[in-house]
């Protein structure tokens, strides 16, 4: 009913349709309508199962011939007793061992239907030809099923009242019939995540179309995108991503005054716009443009005239050369130029209003560009920037400057970003001490300073009781001192890497009590000493995958209780990349972002850098210590153990 009410409003906008559904009153259901529904129920019943009712149905199984069909759940009638609405969405009717239900051809007997929703009900097989009998349909939703086969045998041209057609998330194939695009008042055409193939033919009668949203993404369509697509003058949203299109001919964009969103990502486009300079100003004012993962070699020049553009994604292309200075003046909200071959920035980068800017994995040189002062997502990692970190860092919530050649100290002003969740300055040439204020950041989830030349005493860091750290990586520096006791306040810690430092302390038993989420612990190549048996602890790390204590001065026997709670190393696990998910504090416009942990491990004498840690990778390394006694027999229970060095290498 929620969807039905939504379409009341749409129908008032189309004067050619008169569609009013009046709530049923007692004994209005006509006999033929009741028989059609009962026939439908019978077609859905898996007779080789008992009881004889549609599996998992919460609606159809209660349809009873002794009651008025207008009162049946999922059924809506008009004032004259005809069924005009049928909602069986989410019924999962077709589930069960050895049984999956096709959409019954009996659906075509309900010729008064104006609203039909069979989405997310596990229907299989082809769409019945009788669907073409439903000439009064305004809304048809068959999405999120397992429907397959071509759809060109259906007489789509009969459905002249159709406003919304949703077939997404199925297994439908073959070509898309041109008769669908010619439906006179169709506004929403959503065919994504299927197996449609071939080329799109020129669209006839497109100039008289009401089409607002066209989504053909995640199919196998190929070739040229027809020029006549721009005759859909009402078009607002166009999504052709994840296909094999080779060209997008903008020859008449001035007609598309309403177009505000284009997604052509994950295709094979070489040139996005082939217009002349004089026609740039007639290009529609797009709000969101996504050209990720194509074959573009330059930043399209027409973009400089896009005054209304808010989000631009040109990542994962083959763009070379310079980032033009004009791009910073577009008043963008989000800019993504990552994973290209960009080398320079034109002139000094001015202060800009971007909230989200991603330049990672290019070949950019020189000083760091401006870091936005109004907060947001900033990723300049994996370039060749060689300056120091500026002191006027703004209110970012994600800041990654990793894998450059940055030098100098980490400025205390970095702590001015009170809402920051991720700080990644790893793999640079930073020196000096770690600012103490970093350990007091209230929302910090990831702090990665690995692979620098940082000094000072780690014990000076003071993690407060409200610590939210999930990842702390200080490995491969020159940090001294004792293990910080305040780290016990970080109850959510999953990843701790302190390898290759000069920390001198007893084994930190506080880790045994502080968190049950720990997945990776690397204390390798420090000066930890003494036994690893920890009395009065919970001894529970059920999610532990990697523990590396090699090259320390640890001694004594390895207690069996130290091993018996490492459940992730005992159970058979499926391969899965472990990625941390975050969202902006206090809500806001960003939905979220992700950060993958990485760690260096030694396996069979060879160093491996795990950029993303999958749950099937497990490792124990206790080598190059002074342990005594035998290897605990409990090691035999570690069925998922990938590597376990015990001798010095």
Inform me whether the pLDDT recorded for 148 exceeds 70: yes
How far apart are the C-alpha atoms of 74 and 512, rounded to whole Å?
54
174 band by pLDDT with thresholds 50, 70 and 90? very high
Q: Render pLDDT for 68-124 as a digit per residue (tens, 0 to 9).
A: 999 999 999 998 899 999 999 988 775 444 456 889 999 999 999 999 999 998 899
Mean pLDDT of the chain: 82
Band (pLDDT 50/70/90 cuts) for residue 561 is confident
Residue in this structure with the two tokens 């204020």, named with its chain if needed: 437
Rounded CA separation 212/451 (Å): 51
Q: For residue range 37-60, what is the model confidence (pLDDT) as tens digits? A: 998 888 876 544 444 444 567 788
Residue 489 has pLDDT above 60, yes or no: yes
State percent of the chain over pLDDT 70: 79
Residue 249: CB atoms within 10 A of its CB come to 16
Architecture of domain 421-649: Alpha-Beta Horseshoe (3.80)
Contacts of 87 (CB under 8 A, 6+ apart): 1, 3, 4, 74, 76, 115, 117
pLDDT band at residue 600 using 50, 70 and 90 as cut-offs: low
Euclidean distance between CA atoms 546 and 317, whole angstroms: 36
In the chain, how long is the greatest CA-to-CA distance?
89
- From the number of C-beta atoms within 10 Å of its C-beta (0-12, 13-18, 19+), residue 146 rates as middle
Higher pLDDT, 518 or 572: 518
Euclidean distance between CA atoms 211 and 479, whole angstroms:
62
Distances (CA, A) of 407 to 361, 371, 384, 386: 19, 17, 12, 7
Q: What are phi and psi of 86, to 5 degrees?
A: -140, 115
pLDDT for 5: 43
Closest by alpha carbon to 138, among 85, 59, 181?
A: 85
- Confidence (pTM): 0.84
Q: Are 219 and 197 in contact (CB under 8 A)?
A: yes
Q: Is the pLDDT of residue 66 over 50?
A: yes
In sequence order, what are the residues at sequence separation of 6 or more whose Cβ sits closer than 8 angstroms to the Cβ of residue 253?
230, 259, 275, 279, 282, 283, 284
Residues 6+ apart with CB under 8 A from 409: 388, 389, 430, 431, 432, 433
List the single range of 181-190, 195-204, 267-276 with lowest mean pLDDT: 267-276
Specify the residue for token string 């999953």. 494
Q: Which residue has the higher pLDDT, 265 or 567?
A: 265
The DSSP bridge partners found for residue 377 are 356, 398
φ/ψ (deg, to 5) at 554: -70, 145
Q: Using 50, 70 and 90 to split pLDDT, how confident is the model at 283?
A: low
Q: Give yes or no on whether 1-198 and 421-649 have one common fold.
A: yes
Neighbours of 220 (CB within 10 A): 13
Cα–Cα distance, 57 to 424 (Å, whole number): 50
Between residues 26 and 100, which one has the greater pLDDT? 100
Residue 141 pairs with which residues in a beta bridge? 117, 166
Structure tokens at 35: 């028989």
506 vs 348, more confident: 506
Q: 3-class secondary structure for 154-180?
A: CCHHHCCCCCEEECCCCEEEECCCHHH
For 630, the enclosing helix (H) or strand (E) is none
Q: Return d(Cα 86, Cα 502) in angstroms, integer.
A: 70
Q: Give the pLDDT of residue 511.
A: 85
Q: Scanning the structure block, which residue is given the tokens 């919460």?
A: 58
Confidence at residue 27, expressed as pLDDT on a 0 to 100 scale: 53
pLDDT per position as a tens digit, 377-400: 999 999 999 999 988 887 888 999
Between 538 and 193, the more confident residue is: 193
Contact 554, 627 (CB under 8 A): yes
What's the mean pLDDT in 24-38? Answer: 79
Question: Cα separations (Å) of 248 from 222, 270, 274, 421, 515?
Answer: 11, 9, 9, 39, 53
Could you please report the per-residue DSSP string of 406-453?
-EE---GGGGG-TT--EEE--SSEEEEEPPGGGGG-TT--EEE--SSE
d(CA 348, CA 416): 24
Q: Return the CA Rg of the chain.
A: 31
Delimit the domains of the chain by residue range: 1-198, 421-649
Least confident of 89-103, 147-161, 221-235, 313-327: 89-103
State residue 331's pLDDT score.
Answer: 86
What secondary structure does DSSP assign to 285-332, as a single string?
--SEEE--SS---S--GGGGG-TT--EEE--SS--EEEE-GGGGGS--
pLDDT of residue 11: 43
CB 95 within 8 A of CB 49: no
Q: What is the pLDDT of residue 374?
A: 72
Say how far apart CA 586 and CA 76 lie, in whole Å: 42
Reported as a pLDDT band with limits 50, 70 and 90, residue 533 is confident
Secondary structure class of 601 (helix, strand, coil): strand
> So what's the pLDDT on residue 610?
43
Question: For residue 639, what pLDDT is reported?
Answer: 58
Most confident of 8-22, 269-283, 625-639: 625-639
Which CATH number describes the domain made up of 1-198? 3.80.10.10
pLDDT at 538: 62
Specify the residue for token string 């994600």: 398
Q: Could you read off the pLDDT of 215-264 as tens digits, one per residue? A: 999 999 999 988 888 889 899 999 999 999 998 875 555 567 888 999 99
Phi-psi region of 263 (alpha: psi -120 to 50; beta: other; left: phi over 0): beta
Rounded to whole angstroms, how far apart are CA atoms 74 and 93?
Answer: 13
Tell me the two tokens of residue 375: 């907060």
Residue labelled with tokens 């939703």: 141
């Amino acid at each position: 009913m929620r969807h039905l009410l939504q379409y009341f409003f749409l129908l008032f906008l189309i004067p050619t349709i008169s569609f009013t559904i009046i709530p049923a009153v007692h004994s209005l259901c006509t006999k033929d309508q009741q028989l059609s529904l009962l026939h439908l129920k019978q077609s859905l019943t898996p007779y080789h199962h008992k009881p004889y009712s549609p599996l998992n149905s919460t609606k159809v199984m209660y349809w009873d011939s002794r009651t008025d069909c207008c009162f049946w759940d999922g059924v809506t009638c008009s004032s004259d007793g005809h069924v005009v609405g049928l909602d069986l969405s989410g019924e999962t009717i077709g589930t069960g061992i050895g049984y999956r239900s096709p959409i019954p051809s009996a659906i075509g007997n309900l010729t008064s239907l104006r609203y039909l929703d069979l989405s997310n009900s596990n229907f299989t097989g082809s769409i019945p030809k009788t669907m073409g009998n439903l000439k009064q349909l305004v809304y048809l939703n068959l999405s999120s099923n397992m429907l397959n086969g071509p759809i060109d045998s259906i007489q789509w041209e009969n459905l002249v009242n159709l406003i919304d057609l949703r077939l997404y998330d199925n297994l439908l194939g073959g070509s898309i019939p041109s008769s669908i695009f010619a439906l006179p008042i169709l506004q929403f055409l959503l065919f994504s995540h299927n197996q449609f193939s071939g080329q799109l033919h020129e669209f006839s009668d497109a100039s008289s179309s009401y089409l607002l949203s066209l989504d053909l993404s995640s199919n196998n369509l190929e070739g040229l995108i027809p020029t006549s697509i721009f005759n859909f003058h009402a078009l607002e949203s166009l999504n052709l991503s994840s296909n094999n299109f080779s060209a997008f001919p903008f020859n008449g964009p001035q007609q598309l005054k309403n177009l505000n969103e284009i997604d052509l990502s994950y295709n094979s486009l070489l040139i996005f716009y082939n217009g002349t300079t004089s026609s740039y100003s007639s290009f529609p004012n797009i709000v969101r443009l996504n050209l990720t993962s194509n074959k573009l070699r330059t930043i399209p020049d027409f973009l400089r005239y896009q005054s209304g553009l808010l989000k631009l994604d040109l990542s994962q292309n083959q763009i070379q050369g310079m980032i033009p200075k004009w791009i910073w003046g577009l008043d963008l909200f989000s800019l993504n130029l990552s994973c290209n071959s960009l080398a320079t920035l034109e002139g000094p980068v001015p202060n800009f209003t971007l909230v989200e800017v991603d330049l990672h994995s290019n070949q950019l040189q020189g000083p760091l560009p401006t870091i936005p002062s109004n907060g947001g997502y900033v990723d300049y990692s994996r370039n060749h920037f060689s300056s120091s970190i500026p002191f006027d860092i703004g209110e970012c919530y994600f800041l990654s400057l990793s894998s450059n050649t940055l030098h100098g100290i980490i400025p205390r002003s970095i702590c001015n970003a009170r809402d920051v969740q991720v700080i990644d300055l790893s793999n640079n040439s930073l020196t000096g001490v770690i600012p103490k204020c970093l350990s007091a950041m209230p929302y910090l989830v990831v702090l990665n300073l690995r692979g620098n030349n940082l000094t000072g005493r780690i014990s000076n860091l003071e993690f407060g009781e409200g610590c939210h750290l999930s990842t702390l990586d200080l490995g491969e520096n020159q940090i001294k001192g004792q293990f910080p006791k305040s780290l016990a306040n970080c109850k959510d810690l999953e990843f701790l890497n302190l390898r290759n430092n000069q920390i001198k302390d007893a084994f930190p038993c506080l880790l045994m009590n502080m968190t049950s989420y720990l997945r990776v612990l690397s204390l390798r190549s420090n000066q930890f000493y003494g036994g690893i048996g920890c009395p009065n602890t919970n001894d529970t790390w059920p999610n532990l995958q990697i523990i590396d204590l090699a090259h320390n001065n640890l001694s004594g026997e390895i207690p069996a209780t130290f091993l018996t709670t490492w459940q992730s190393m005992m159970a058979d696990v499926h391969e899965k990349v472990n990625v941390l998910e975050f969202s902006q504090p206090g809500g806001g416009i960003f939905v979220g972002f992700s950060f993958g942990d990485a760690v260096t491990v030694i396996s069979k004498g060879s160093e491996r850098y795990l950029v993303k840690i999958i749950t099937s990778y497990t490792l124990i390394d206790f080598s190059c210590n002074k342990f005594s006694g035998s290897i605990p027999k409990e090691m035999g229970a570690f069925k998922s153990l990938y590597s376990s060095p015990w001798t010095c290498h």
